[in-house]
């Protein structure tokens, strides 16, 4: 146990008791659930009745750009790990694209990542954090619920992120940040609202599912326990 604790000395998360990530309750989160289920309904219904090949092509391009430049380079490699250097404007652009995934704001994403990373390095943690239940139950938890730990650890996010005005703005408005790109597509498609529905809503819904599915298949628990 001492070796585990020493390995986490430089982690953003700190807990007096390592069991703090084990004891808690999973609660239904109405806003989170409405966001995902709204996107899912829009993707299934709107996508079916508004399908065009041009909208599908725009969906593929937008999804690739947001996933690769936003979630990977922006949210993960730069914001979470600060693993490369680039001009600030480029960092902001990549992180803004990361917000387009539709999971959370930039600060919220860092908090989620760090808590899971910390918990999964310990001998044990809550099933919510390690994707330790069946695939269907875990999907429901991750997409519609939140974990409330009874004694949550402290998450220390450095000032370059937590006090950055642009990141704080995105944190407050991450849901509505889908609108600028929607308006851009609306104008590019000659005011075709169906094009926007077929491109934007399906992209957000697919990205949310894809990003949350990765740990289900690759980390502990989930479908195969690997």
Name residue, tokens 């310990």.
Answer: 122
In whole angstroms, give the CA distance from residue 196 to residue 53. 13
In whole angstroms, give the CA distance from residue 155 to residue 107. 11
Cα 28 from chain centroid (whole Å): 18
Reported as type and span, the H/E element at residue 21 is none
What tens digit of pLDDT does each residue of 108-118 get? 999 999 999 99
Q: What is the pLDDT of residue 88?
A: 96
pTM of this structure: 0.83
In whole angstroms, give the CA distance from residue 214 to residue 25. 23
Higher pLDDT, 66 or 160: 160
DSSP string, 194-214: HHHIIIIIHHHHHHHHHHHHH
In whole angstroms, give the CA distance from residue 205 to residue 180. 17
Mean pLDDT of the chain: 81
Higher pLDDT, 19 or 225: 19
Q: What is the pLDDT of residue 54?
A: 75
Q: Please, which pLDDT band fits residue 191 given cuts at 50, 70 and 90?
A: very low
Q: What is the pLDDT of residue 62?
A: 80
Q: Which two tokens stand for residue 129?
A: 């954090």
pLDDT at position 162 over 50: yes
Work out the widest C-alpha separation in the chain, in whole angstroms. 63
* Rg of the chain on CA atoms, in Å: 19
Q: Please, which pLDDT band fits residue 8 given cuts at 50, 70 and 90?
A: confident
Q: What is the pLDDT of residue 207?
A: 55
Average pLDDT over residues 57-84: 88
- To the nearest whole percent, how much of the chain has pLDDT over 90? 45
pLDDT at position 209 over 50: yes
């Amino acid at each position: 146990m001492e070796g585990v604790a020493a390995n986490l000395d430089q982690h953003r998360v700190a807990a007096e008791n390592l069991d703090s990530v084990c004891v808690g309750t999973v609660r239904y989160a109405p806003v989170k659930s409405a966001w995902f289920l709204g996107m899912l309904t829009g993707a299934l219904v709107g996508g079916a009745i508004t399908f065009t090949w041009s909208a599908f092509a725009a969906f593929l391009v937008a999804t690739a750009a947001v996933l690769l430049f936003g979630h990977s380079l922006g949210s993960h490699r730069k914001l979470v790990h600060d693993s490369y250097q680039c001009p600030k404007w480029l960092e902001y652009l990549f992180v803004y694209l990361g917000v387009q995934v539709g999971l959370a704001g930039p600060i919220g994403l860092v908090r989620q990542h760090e808590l899971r990373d910390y918990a999964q390095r310990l001998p044990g943690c809550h099933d919510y954090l390690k994707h330790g239940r069946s695939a269907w139950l875990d999907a429901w938890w991750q997409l519609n619920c939140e974990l409330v730990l009874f004694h949550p650890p402290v998450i220390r996010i450095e000032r370059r992120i937590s006090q950055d005005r642009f990141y704080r703005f995105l944190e407050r408005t991450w849901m509505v940040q889908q609108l600028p790109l929607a308006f851009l597509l609306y104008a590019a498609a000659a005011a075709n609202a169906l094009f926007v529905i077929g491109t934007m809503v399906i992209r957000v819904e697919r990205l949310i599912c894809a990003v949350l599915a990765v740990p289900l298949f690759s980390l502990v628990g989930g479908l195969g326990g690997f």
